[in-house]
């Protein structure tokens, strides 16, 4: 049949499941549950937050406010803050954070709801160090990283895990001098050392410093849902379900430029669905430290070190319908985590291998693997790296009797990558633009109604 193709089966399935999830997760079983609103446009922290016209301005107000059954709608804009969830939800009364990107609930113009752990810094405060390429500045508070906003927005690497520091025993400052796009913060001296991507002074770049740990931290609290946010440049992750933060759900978020996009650590029964996770230093989503029954469905992960990852006895996981491509090492990593089911994933051009398995029992079927670059493997297994590394699907199938119904090549088109510069420009300018739109609407309502407002929007 000719003509434009409609959505594929996976996309349709994902949309249906997503719609069902949204409907389910917004249902509350608590009669007195509250609905809170946060708006950068007209918010005021002296209000009670209980209506669109009484909205708070700052996201952090939700940390202590949210209780079982409560829902928070957060309007678009750029939020340089974090939420630390202080209370539990319940099985029939979840705590739900919703990024209101359409403005349906808050009344704001549509836009991205971005939460960042980074703050702008004046590059002129940095002075050249004795080591070529290194620049220093005194920074009173701890710095967890740096990022050039005029570049691809990877965060700078630290020194602690480098071969130069661990094996060669170089000093942190010497490591920074050797490696571009690195930083070292001397906490005792309160001095930050930077080596930019091109060795030029920080003042020649649009620099931000990472000073906050997570976008939304759920530590030891259960039954929390996070939906629709965009997170960037955190010390740890956009969303962190940490130490007994079980029964968490992350749906339709975007998270990039952090350690992990979404971190699940010691937290059982967490669902990660439909998220876009990229350019994170470790993994797109990482289930670790006995995060049992962790489920990753319908996520897109690219340009991380690893796309989706289970480790350290995070058993009984499910990896389903994910698209994992162009990650810097592996697409799927299963490390000391048994009974992981891998089904219907699209795994393409991950630099080292598409699948890494380290001493784990797993089951894989109906996946699609595609490699185009020299040295890319389909699958590799530890501790037998020398003889258990497979460049083709056929070799892997013969050796391991897994993925017998999977296919090599023909995986179909990949998702478009996020334009981080457009995203940053839009969110940085959102509040001023939205206030102007809202004031125009109010003026039109007073002096001529909807037609006058539409004329005002068109510049007539």
What is the DSSP code string of 194-214? EE-TTSS-GGGS-EEEE--SE
Are residues 118 and 211 in contact, defined by beta-carbon separation less than 8 angstroms?
A: yes
Residue 413 located in a structural domain: no
Query: Looking at residue 294, what is its pLDDT?
Result: 98
Domain of 80, CATH number, reads 2.160.20.10
234 and 167 part of one domain = no
With a CB cutoff of 8 Å and minimum separation 6, the contacts of 150 are: 205, 206
> Average pLDDT of 7-17?
53
Please state, in angstroms and rounded to a whole number, the distance separating the CA atoms of residues 108 and 457. 15
Residue 226 located in a structural domain: yes
Please, what's the largest Cα pairwise distance for the chain? 78
Query: Looking at residue 15, what is its pLDDT?
Result: 52
pLDDT, tens digit (0-9, with 9 covering 90-100), for 419-448: 999 999 999 999 999 999 998 766 555 555
- Residue 181: other Cβ atoms inside 10 A: 18
Please state, in angstroms and rounded to a whole number, the distance separating the CA atoms of residues 160 and 438. 48
Ranking 7-16, 18-27, 121-130 by mean pLDDT, the lowest is: 7-16
Residue 317 located in a structural domain: yes
293 and 441 part of one domain = no
> Average pLDDT of 355-374?
97
Structural domain boundaries, residue 57: 9-116+216-408
Query: Looking at residue 147, what is its pLDDT?
Result: 98
Pairing of strands 207-210, 145-148: antiparallel
231 and 307 part of one domain = yes
Q: Strand order of the sheet with strand 237-242? A: 83-85, 214-219, 237-242, 260-265, 283-288, 306-311, 330-335, 353-358, 377-382, 389-390
221 and 279 part of one domain = yes
Look at residues 276, 343, 344 and name the one whose alpha carbon lies nearest to residue 307: 276
Query: Looking at residue 237, what is its pLDDT?
Result: 98
Query: Looking at residue 23, what is its pLDDT?
Result: 55
Residue 200 located in a structural domain: yes
Query: Which residue reads 């906003």 in tokens?
Result: 149
Residue 176 located in a structural domain: yes
Q: ∠ CA 210-213-281 to the nearest 5 degrees?
A: 70
pLDDT at 278 over 90: yes
> Average pLDDT of 239-255?
98
pLDDT at 451 over 70: no
Token pair listed for 29? 């079983």
56 and 94 part of one domain = yes
Buried b (16+ CB within 10 A) or exposed e, 340-377: bebbbbbbbbbbbbbbbbeebebebeebbbbbeeeebb
100 and 200 part of one domain = no
418 pLDDT band, cuts 50/70/90, is very high
> Average pLDDT of 245-253?
98
369 and 302 part of one domain = yes
- Residue 42: other Cβ atoms inside 10 A: 20
pLDDT at 241 over 60: yes
Ranking 10-14, 185-189, 376-380 by mean pLDDT, the lowest is: 10-14
The DSSP secondary-structure symbol of 42 reads T
458 pLDDT band, cuts 50/70/90, is low
Query: Looking at residue 316, what is its pLDDT?
Result: 98
381 pLDDT band, cuts 50/70/90, is very high
Query: Looking at residue 2, what is its pLDDT?
Result: 35
Query: Looking at residue 386, what is its pLDDT?
Result: 78
Ranking 19-23, 57-61, 210-214 by mean pLDDT, the lowest is: 19-23
pLDDT at 113 over 70: yes
Query: Looking at residue 26, what is its pLDDT?
Result: 60
Residue 380 located in a structural domain: yes
CA-based radius of gyration for the chain: 23
Query: Looking at residue 10, what is its pLDDT?
Result: 54
pLDDT at 151 over 60: yes
Of 165-169, 380-384, 410-414, the range with the highest mean pLDDT is: 410-414
384 pLDDT band, cuts 50/70/90, is confident
259 and 186 part of one domain = no
If you average pLDDT over every residue of the chain, what do you get?
92
Query: Looking at residue 443, what is its pLDDT?
Result: 58
Are residues 279 and 419 in contact, defined by beta-carbon separation less than 8 angstroms?
A: no
221 and 200 part of one domain = no
Query: Looking at residue 385, what is its pLDDT?
Result: 72
Residues, the chain, total? 460
Please state, in angstroms and rounded to a whole number, the distance separating the CA atoms of residues 181 and 456. 46
354 and 253 part of one domain = yes
Query: Looking at residue 345, what is its pLDDT?
Result: 98
**Count of structural domains, the chain:** 3
> Average pLDDT of 217-243?
98
112 and 149 part of one domain = no
Residue 4 located in a structural domain: no
Residue 3 located in a structural domain: no
Query: Looking at residue 456, what is its pLDDT?
Result: 46
Burial level of 104, CB count in 10 A (0-12/13-18/19+)?
A: exposed
226 and 184 part of one domain = no
Instruction: List phi, psi (to 5°) of 283.
Output: -135, 155
Query: Looking at residue 439, what is its pLDDT?
Result: 84
């Amino acid at each position: 049949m000719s003509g434009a193709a409609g959505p594929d089966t996976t996309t349709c399935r994902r949309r249906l499941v997503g719609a069902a999830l949204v409907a389910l997760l917004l249902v509350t079983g608590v009669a007195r549950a509250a609905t809170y609103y946060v708006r950068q446009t007209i918010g005021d922290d002296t209000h009670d937050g209980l209506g669109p016209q009484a909205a708070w301005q700052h996201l952090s107000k939700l940390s202590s406010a949210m209780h079982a059954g409560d829902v928070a709608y957060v309007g678009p804009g750029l939020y340089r803050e974090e939420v630390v969830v202080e209370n539990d939800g319940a099985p029939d009364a979840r705590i739900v954070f919703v990024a209101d990107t359409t403005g349906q609930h808050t009344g704001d113009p549509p836009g991205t709801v971005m939460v960042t752990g980074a703050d702008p810094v004046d590059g002129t405060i940095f002075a050249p160090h004795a080591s070529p390429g290194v620049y220093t500045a005194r920074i009173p508070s701890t710095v967890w990283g740096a990022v050039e906003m005029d570049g691809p927005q990877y965060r700078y690497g630290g020194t602690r895990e480098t071969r130069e520091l661990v094996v060669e025993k170089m000093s942190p400052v010497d490591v920074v001098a050797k490696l571009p796009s690195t930083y070292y913060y001397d906490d005792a001296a309160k001095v930050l050392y930077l080596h930019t991507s091109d060795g030029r002074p920080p003042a020649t770049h649009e620099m931000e410093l990472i000073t906050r740990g997570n976008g939304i931290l759920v530590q030891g609290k259960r039954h929390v849902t996070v939906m629709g946010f965009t997170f960037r440049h955190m010390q740890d992750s956009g969303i962190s379900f940490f130490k007994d933060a079980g029964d968490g759900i992350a749906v339709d978020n975007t998270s990039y430029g952090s350690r992990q996009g979404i971190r699940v650590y010691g937290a059982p029964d967490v669902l990660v669905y439909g998220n876009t996770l990229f350019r994170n230093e470790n993994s797109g989503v990482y289930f670790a430290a006995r995060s049992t029954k962790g489920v990753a469905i319908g996520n897109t992960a690219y340009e991380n070190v690893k796309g989706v990852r289970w480790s350290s006895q995070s058993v009984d996981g499910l990896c389903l319908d994910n698209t994992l491509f162009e990650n810097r090492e592996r697409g799927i990593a299963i490390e000391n985590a048994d009974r992981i089911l891998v089904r219907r994933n699209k795994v393409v051009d991950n630099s080292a291998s598409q699948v890494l398995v380290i001493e784990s029992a797993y089951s894989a079927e109906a996946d699609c693997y595609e490699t185009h670059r020299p040295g890319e493997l389909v699958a590799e297994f530890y501790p037998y790296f020398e003889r258990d590394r497979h460049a083709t699907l056929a070799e892997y199938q013969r050796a391991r009797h897994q993925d017998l119904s999977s296919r090599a090549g023909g995986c179909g088109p990949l998702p478009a990558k996020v334009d981080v510069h457009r995203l940053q420009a839009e969110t940085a300018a959102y509040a001023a633009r939205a206030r102007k739109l809202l004031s125009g609407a109010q003026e039109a309502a007073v002096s001529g109604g909807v037609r006058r407002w539409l004329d005002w929007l068109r510049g007539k």
